[in-house]
Amino acid sequence: MPLGSGDIYWGLACGIGPGGHWHGWVDVRVEAAALRRLGLHPDQPTAMVTGPTPPGWWHAAAERHAR
């Protein structure tokens, strides 16, 4: 594994959302030094889309499976 156990931190919070349903939130953090070892760094610009977007049916299928 490229990251050690001390390089990754995570937390979980649960609570009732505005609609009255339970929701969970996950917080994942990675040490900046661990990212640098992988050739990444915290000041790196965000990724950009380099290819065409998937067709409309693909998005509809993904939304159906998410429910």
Tell me, yes or no, if the pTM score tops 0.85. Answer: no
Q: How many CB atoms lie within 10 A of CB 31?
A: 15
**pLDDT 10s digits, 7-61:** 999 899 999 988 899 999 899 998 888 888 888 876 777 766 777 888 888 888 8
Distance CA 37, CA 61 (A): 38
Distance CA 17, CA 42 (A): 31
SS3 at position 59: helix
62, containing H or E segment: helix 56-66
